[in-house]
Amino acid sequence: MQDEGFPIIEYRRGATPREWGRAHGEAHREGIQELFEIRLALMQEKNGALTPAVVEQLAGEQWDATEKLDPLLADELLGIGEGAGLTNTQLVVVNNYTDFRDIQPGEGTRLQDEGCSAVFVDTGAGAIAGQTWDMHGSAKRFVCCLDVPVPDSEERMVVFSIVGCLGMMGYTSWRTAVGVNNINTDGARPGVVWPALVRKTLAQRTHDAMVSQLKDAAVTSGHNYLVASRTADHQSRAEMWEVMPDLAECASRYGESNRRIYHTNHCLAGQAVAREQAAALNSSTHIRYDLIEKKINAISSFDDVYALLNDHENYPQSICSNHQTSALDPAITCGGAVGDLTNGRVTMWRGDELYDDNFVRHEFRFD
């Protein structure tokens, strides 16, 4: 069993996306191959109709949608495939696993193995965005950070990811952030792989452009996106957008009367709630939401947000949990990230600092 050790994968400034991907894939070849095998087995366990022929067809449609979204991100994926020895179909499984399972060509069991809690707080001294990354426990060995330069500039982004993947959440040197957590909604269909949408949204240079990118994307299934920014005149903006096929709805928005916003894994916006598949809800989503609601008004610093996302009250159904509550709900907190859009500090970590002997934490700073 491969343990990647939570590496920081640094993309070389001046190299092409294909070269970035190839170096990424070569350095983590064994882990990426193992992760593909794990995710394919979990997909097919959930839905027996996902035969090799069906997987190939649906993955091809998702690949085409991703290439249309951003050819350079698709080129980075091609490089990862070349380096790791994976086909395009296998890359789609690694990157779009949670959404791929939601495309239902046949009956299957709802496996509640994704979670995440996302928050944004403006303390007056800092505009802080963060989230846990709760996923099937098998994913924890494969988490990593990507340090990605922006071509033709001195800017960069830091992304929390898993090896073989474009990224799950991230922060930019121009003081923006994108987070994501799963929601279970109807209407899933082949669309872009969601890590490509995270990277594409992060690459936008204004808050409005980030929101437009999310609203216009041909997504595969439902996610809530935390979009946050800090302008040069020290103004904060942050929203939670519940995005699914044919709908993008703002669930909450930072403002003078609402300086702390948060989300777990159930829908909050009216139209999105109507499309939610209640039977598939993560078993702890309402519990975690209530815990955040109880604690968030006491937050006054970066360290407070970090502590909130690593909080164990009501363990194992806690904001941070290293325990699988049942066979049908095998999600654990595999890691997380917190970033201050005011001073450029970002912390990313793997595991549970209290319970894991292989806990790893990285610090980044944007100038």
Q: What is the pLDDT along the chain (367 residues), one digit of tens a residue?
A: 889 999 999 999 999 999 999 999 999 999 999 999 999 999 888 788 889 999 999 999 999 999 999 999 999 999 999 999 999 999 999 999 989 988 865 544 445 556 799 999 999 999 999 999 999 888 999 999 999 999 999 999 999 999 999 999 999 999 999 999 999 999 999 999 999 999 999 999 999 999 999 999 999 999 999 999 998 888 999 999 999 999 999 999 999 788 999 999 999 999 999 999 887 788 889 999 999 999 999 999 999 999 999 999 998 889 998 765 554 556 799 999 999 999 999 999 999 998 889 999 999 999 8
Would you state the torsion angle of the CA atoms of residues 36, 98, 199, 284, taken in this order, to the nearest 10 degrees?
A: -130
CA 353 to each of CA 144, 264, 334: distance values in angstroms, whole numbers, following the listed order = 17, 21, 11
- pTM value? 0.95
What string of DSSP letters covers 17-28? Answer: HHHHHHHHHHHT
Please give the distance of CA 163 from its chain centroid, rounded to a whole number: 13
C-alpha to C-alpha distance for 39 and 265, rounded to whole angstroms: 21
Is 69 exposed, middle or buried, given 0-12, 13-18 or 19+ CB atoms closer than 10 A? buried
pLDDT at residue 112 in the model: 52
**Which of 279, 281, 255, 259 minimizes the C-alpha distance to 268?**
281
Instruction: Compute the distance between CA of residue 166 and CA of residue 70 in angstroms, rounded to an integer.
Output: 12
At the topology level, CATH places domain 118-365 in Penicillin V Acylase; Chain A (3.60.60)
Which residues touch 297 (CB under 8 Å, ≥6 apart)? Answer: 260
Where does the chain hold its CATH 3.60.60.10 domain(s)? 118-365
Q: Is the dihedral of CA 177, 252, 242, 93 positive or negative?
A: positive
Q: What are phi and psi of 136, to 5 degrees?
A: -50, 135
Contact 3, 144 (CB under 8 A): no
Q: Which two tokens stand for residue 84?
A: 């790791």
Please state, in angstroms and rounded to a whole number, the distance separating the CA atoms of residues 225 and 193: 14
- Based on its alpha-carbon atoms, the radius of gyration of the chain, rounded to whole angstroms, reads 19
**Alpha carbon distance 259, 246 (integer Å):** 29
Q: Measured between alpha carbons, how far is residue 311 from residues 235, 295, 303, 352 in Å?
A: 29, 10, 12, 10
**Is the four-CA dihedral 116, 219, 272, 250 of positive or negative sign?**
positive
